[in-house]
Amino acid sequence: MKKIIAIFGICSLIFACTSSEKSESTEDTSTVAVAAPVDTTSTAATASVGSAKGEQLISGSDCLTCHKVDAKLVGPSYIDVANKYAATDANIEMLAGKVIKGGSGSWGEIPMAPHPAISTDDAKEMIKYILSLKTN
């Protein structure tokens, strides 16, 4: 019985996270997944302030289907992501890659759907906004 419930739950999540990609909207969509922390010993510039453009891109995408600013849904909350990763160029680049290519394993077993239609620059703006939410 537990296996049936688990399979049903996973199928529901996959459907919920991928169904909006079929829309004919011209807006980019994304969901953020994260990987292991990147070495931050480089002299990469930090994103100390949030990106208003990133916030707009997130609200116009399907991100909020699986993520919330302050609470875990299917994926981690944006605050949890911000508290785990420093706002370095290396981390912004790595996390933007996860938005575009998808990923799994860093926050549980449910994979994040890839969003290849999102440009690297837009994905970076989204990540800058998320990392600006750091609380600790």
Known binding site for heme c: residues?
63, 67, 112
- Quote the strand ranges of 27-74, DSSP E: none
Is residue 100 within 8 A of residue 94, CB to CB? The reply is: no
What stretches of 1-136 show up as alpha helix (H) in DSSP? 2-18, 52-59, 63-66, 78-84, 89-101, 120-131
Six-digit token pair at 20? 């909006």
Distance CA 57, CA 72 (A): 20
Residues that constitute the known binding site = 63, 67, 112
